[in-house]
Structures are given as C-alpha cells and as structure tokens.
A and B are shown apart, each in its own frame.
Chain A
C-alpha cells in the first residue's frame, strides 16, 4: 500500500506541473463562468446554467482523463523511467495501481476546482446550493475513473496513439450501446443483428448509468440506488480492467 501511495502522490505532483493540464482547467473554468451569459441568451433560467455547466465539466474532465490516461503510464514505460522504479522493492502491480490512483487524484482535483466554480455560478443565479449537481459531478468522476482504468489497460500493450483511438471508441460505444438495444427492440430487429448488438451491450460499459445531469437540471434528487449502482458498476469494471492491466504488464518485456 505504501508504495502505491508514493507512486500516486508522485504522479499527482508531476501532472499538476503540466502546462497542458493548466490550459484545459483554465478553459474549463472560463466555460463554467461563460454559462452565465449562455443561459441569459437562451431562457434566463438557472436550469440552463446547470445544463451547460455540468456538460462543460463533463467534457473538460473527459479531455483530461483521455490526455492523462493515454500518456502518463505509456510515457513512463516508453521512456524507461520505470527502470528506476521497478529496480527498487516495487512490484509491477504496485506501479500500475500507483499510476491509476495518482491520475484519479488529478481528476478529483480538477473535478473539485470546476465543481466549486459551478456551485459558485449556480449560487450567483440564486438557484441555491446545488447538491444534486455535485452528485452528478461525483458520478461523472466515477465514469472518468473507469475511463482512466481502460486507458491504462490499453497502454500496457498499445502505443499512446492507439490508446487514444481505443479509449475514445469505448467511450463513444459506452454512451450509445444502451440506446442501440432499445432502438433495436423498438424496430423489432431480430436474428444475428440483435444478437450482435446485445453482445456489444454486455461487453462495453454502459456509461449512461453515470449521467445524472438531468436530475440536477430538474432539481430531482438522484435516487440512492442509481448512485450505489454507479459506484458498484465502476468499481467492478475498474477492478477487472486493472487486474488485466497488471497481468499483461507483468508479462511485458521492458
């Protein structure tokens, strides 16, 4: 556990010194503040601030997760910095887990920064303290953690560029797969085509489970079961992905 924490802490320290990350956060903050004007232009309603704000936070965190997940682990291995670490009393599993938790800490930090800006903007619009919005951001964070685990898993066997392609693909499919099944059933699609869509549904994560933005917009508390399901769902996926990542990385010739 100790080595995992040391590697995680070091990953956080290094990533927050990256100017690209600062750039993304600054744009994220500008966007969240800009929602005030966007909302004024559309309906002059706090719900629009929430809709634009939460979607913006989701978008910028997704960029950060994709950027960190596909580069951080891969660079350490590709540039052989890992030689210094693995020649010390550190196992490969500890290294993989340390990188994952370190990147999660970075995402937690960016989610917190953007979340505080969002709450401030919603308060400014006299819409009260948006607990539901914060819950939605927490659920977005769970999705991004899954996203990171997938990117690290792919980075154990693919290049940074391929990792971006695969991770983006899974992200895209993860958001449409449940809709695909619903649509296929609605038009009575059968046979092998329905069967293939159902395989996609069970293989790829259903990322729609993490979308609680509508609850915040319509000021309806997120049901506890939905939140608990999202936590359990992401935990299972993350454990499976990291187990596979450790297994592959353990066999990798570095």
Chain B
C-alpha cells in the first residue's frame, strides 16, 4: 500500500503539490491531470529525486525514499534521456549493476539473459547492440521502460510511459503493463491521455494545480458520462472556485 500523507511541495512561494493525502492499494493506479498539474513532482518525490516540503510518502509502512525500498522500485522518468554512446544492452547492465544484484548469485550470462528477456518484452531486442543515439523516440521510451524492470521491482512508477509511441507501440506497452499486473506488481502511471487510463487503470487520481480532486474507480468517477466529459466538469468546477479565480 502507498500512503501519501499531507504531501506538499513548494518552490519558494509557488505551491506545486498542495496537502496531498491519498492511500492506494490497487494493481494499476493512474494519476490523471493536465500538463503542469503536479503529477511529475509527486512521482519524483516518491522515488526520492525531490524532497517534500512537508508530509510523507510511505510504501508498505516504510519511507519511499529509503535506500532499501529503492531496491523494490522501478522508475521511468518523463521523456527519458540516456547516455547516447551506450548501447541499449550496456545501459540495462549499468542500471542493473547499481542495484547490486551480484548478491543474488546470478552469473553474468544469467543477467544477460535477463536483460534480453526484458528487451524482447518491450520490443527493442533487435536494437540491443545499437548505440542509443540511433534510437527513435519510441525506442527510447521502450528502453526507459525496460530499465525500470531490471531489478524485478514490486512497484513501478511510470511517468508518461506511452508518450511518443505509435498506436502499435502503445498497444504493446499496455499489454506489457497488464502482464506485469498479473505477475503481482503494482503500477503507478502518470498520464494526460484519458483513453489509456480508462483502458488499463483500476483506479485513478485526478490532480489539478497540485490538489487531489478525486480518487477512486474510473467507473464511479464517470457517473455514466465519458471520462473526458467528467474530467472537464471536475477540473472546470475547481477552476471556478474563488481561491483559483
């Protein structure tokens, strides 16, 4: 279970995440919001890239930024950047080595097979020995996803994982996420694409201007309307409130 307790992040006087409180215990949870809503900031705080101004994030009772917890976590940043002169395979190996998986007793060959399996899963096995600078945007997204899987994480935090992918790529990645869900992994994803949320998320959190406007199932949120229509209604109603006028 992931618990956000009064989470706040402010840059000087600008509050980006505002008293965010939420408990999540579903296989796939989607943070839905416009660009700049605060979704990426929340995810960066979960994985320890940013320190909250106040409040806490705990996962299974432990602080999410604790080094021990980081071993159980996979993270894919938004629009991932890589070491351009590395190959996809070398990048996975580098990421894996940072987890100190040598203690697991795996041989180099076993780890290499593990990387190959991941690259096959995300569909870039054929380009494994090509330098990353030759990869297309979609291939970079897939590699970003692949590196988040090297440590067999229990929790995956994916920031806009389907951005830049063509329709076939989007379909394939969604299938991979659903397969991971069936393996028992918990997935958090940030997105502003409503159709993706509707299709794969068990629950959603609507984030607007750093505030949580709704958390729960997509079906309950929609109230018989389309997700887009309801999203516009909720965000629009929040915009009209005096504090935001």
Contacts and interface: CB of A to CB of B under 8 A. Distances in A.
Q: Interface range on chain B: under 10, 10 to 19, 20 to 34, or 35 or more? A: 20 to 34
Interface in A1-60: 2-3, 6, 10, 13-14, 17-18
Contact of A84 (B70, B71, B100, B147): B147
Contacts of B68: 89
B98 A90 contact: yes
A60 B170 CA distance: 49
A187 interface: no
Contacts of B49: 83, 86-87, 254
Contacts of B47: 87
Contact of B85 (A17, A79, A86): A17
B97 interface: yes
A239 to B, nearest CB: 24
Contacts of A89: 67-68, 70-71, 98-100
Contact of A14 (B50, B73, B83): B83
Contacts of B147: 84
Interface string B71-84: 10101010011110
Interface string A151-166: 0000000000000000
Contact of B81 (A3, A17, A79): A79
B222 interface: no
Interface residues of A, number: 22
Nearest to A251: B51
B81 A88 contact: no
A85 B75 CA distance: 10
A201 B50 CA distance: 39
Given A88-B70, A89-B98, A253-B50, A80 B77 contact: yes
A125 to B, nearest CB: 39
B123 interface: no
Chain B contact surface mostly: loop
A88 B75 CA distance: 8
A85 B95 CA distance: 7
A81 interface: yes
Contact of A87 (B70, B85, B97): B70
A202 B83 CA distance: 39
B223 to A, nearest CB: 37
B94 A253 contact: no
Given A88-B70, A253-B11, A253-B50, A80 B98 contact: no
Interface in B75-113: 75, 77, 80-83, 85-86, 90, 94-95, 97-100
B164 interface: no
A3 B85 contact: no
Contacts of B81: 79-81, 83
Contacts of A14: 83, 85-86
Contacts of B90: 13
Given A81-B83, A89-B99, A254-B49, 18 more contacts: A3-B98, A6-B97, A10-B83, A13-B86, A14-B86, A18-B85, A80-B81, A84-B147, A86-B49, A87-B49, A87-B75, A88-B70, A88-B99, A88-B151, A89-B67, A89-B68, A89-B100, A91-B67
27 contacts: A3-B100, A6-B94, A6-B98, A10-B83, A10-B94, A14-B85, A14-B86, A80-B77, A80-B80, A80-B81, A81-B82, A83-B44, A83-B49, A83-B75, A84-B75, A84-B80, A84-B82, A84-B95, A84-B147, A86-B48, A86-B49, A87-B48, A88-B98, A88-B151, A89-B71, A90-B98, A91-B67
